Structure 1
Amino acid sequence: MEPILTLEHLTKKYGSLTAVSDLSFTINKGNVYGILGPNGSGKSTTLGVVLNVVNKTAGNFKWFDGNTTTHDALKKVGAIIERPNFYPYMTGYENLKLVCKIKGVDTSKIKEKLEIVDLFDRKHHKFQTYSLGMKQRLAIASALLNDPEILILDEPTNGLDPKGIHQIREIIKDIAAQGTTILLASHLLDEVEKVCSHVVVLRKGVKLYSGRVDEMVSSHGFFELKTTQQTELIALLEKNKAFGSIKTQGDLITAFLNEPMKSDELNSFLFKNNIVLSHLVQRKESLEEQFLKLTDNN
């Protein structure tokens, strides 16, 4: 796999506060990566460091094969890490024309990029007339003008209404489908689950998980059980190596699996041990449950 960005033991401190601590992961070409974590987890700081707007304290990062300077590498990067900053009295097209001049890009690119973000019909409307979602879409078009190998987005749907959120997510998926690598920071589990192929989970600057999204949710799930023989049931489950943690809330027992098991297998096993269930539901853990389990243990 071809690496686009590699972080090696990256650390950033602000006085006594450690914003990012010993962070290592690699982003490979053609994937959509999410840096997931609550506010204050170090997501924006990490993006700031690799984009050369924040100085690192320790560790390192390298773009592409490591032989490219950060200055040259950033010519192949498109990024939106702050609110869109365009001239309100200029049209969308005029603003992008100005960006082309700054980036040294031919203005022939503008039509294609406006079509990607579904703003071509509004290209001659002033920026100040755009909705928040349209402003964000224009910012994405701007970041795409230099045909970047990687697009970096910090909280791309923040503050948008449900329609705006859906539009941005669909645009991100469309851009990724064309082969552009994407790195986005988000505090929204739903966003990462719907848009990203890979995820890095941060909490207080520390990496809790790094890998594929589908592998993060590939646990064997859990059973929700009820019986009048609660004490006997818990004792039996605790002796069985197929089960991990077992939680009780009122009359509901939640038993997490260490290995695959079907509900009819469990029912048969319990019946042979003289335990009759009044309630049996098998569930898969969602990304949210996995995320909460990760952050609760740290």
Structure 2
Amino acid sequence: MRNIDEHTITDAVLQSIAGTKDARLRQVMTSLVTHLHDFVREVKLTEAEWKAGIDFLTATGQKCSDTRQEFILLSDTLGVSMLTIALNHAKPAGATEATVFGPFHTIDAPHVEQGADIAHGAPGLPMFVHAVVRGPDGEAVADAEVDVWQADDDGLYDVQRPELGDARRARAVLRTDAHGAVRFRSIVPTAYPIPVDGPVGAMLAATGRHPWRPAHLHFMIRADGYQPLTTHIFRDGDAYLDSDVVFGVRSSLVGDYVEHAPGSAPDGSVVDTTFFTLDQAFTLARA
């Protein structure tokens, strides 16, 4: 490995990892080194630019916490998250499509009963959701786990509000009934900007991009015998459907959020403000 220069260094690195016993690791590392070196040569990367890149990645890691994943945000905004989803979660015809996971899911969402108000005081107009989970032959999927979460009317998730501490709101886990259905009350989702107080926000500003996501409700559904599904249901008519900062919109995932005048709600209660309903069907692919 003497006399290394810009033309020979790639082969030298590849030779150093040629003995990797794990074939998949060897394939991934070989491709990574090859493309990374080609990138550096193509743009004639300067030492100052490489140092800036290292500083950027360092800051990205430092911004991560138990309630915020800046690297997921970076992956989302570079389109890598949706690319890996498209490659790994192709669904058979008729199955609900997957989209990005997002950086604000938590594993401590409260488990609630049918009809519960999962907003727990989060600001926003009331919304009543009726979702049905089916299999590929139209069969009801009973006892499926439905994990749902969303931002509030201020565009913030509960974990972005330090005043809440460990309290959780606008998120919950439910189980489908014998008919494959879940029913709950929440709030209408609104468009919101992703966090821009970190390195990802700086990258967006430097490249002239906006930070907005169209309004959506997150769903993660698991059931025995079926492939797990992580997806959103977007709100039709949102101004950012065609420019989602994380490239997560798919036409099949745009739902019909229906506006209603004050009056009787689907759960029998009387609502004195405008409210919305969402009726949504999900079709799972077999495992």
Higher strand share: 1
TM-score of Structure 1 vs Structure 2, range by shorter chain? under 0.3
Q: TM-score, normalised by structure 1?
A: 0.24
Name the larger-Rg structure: 1
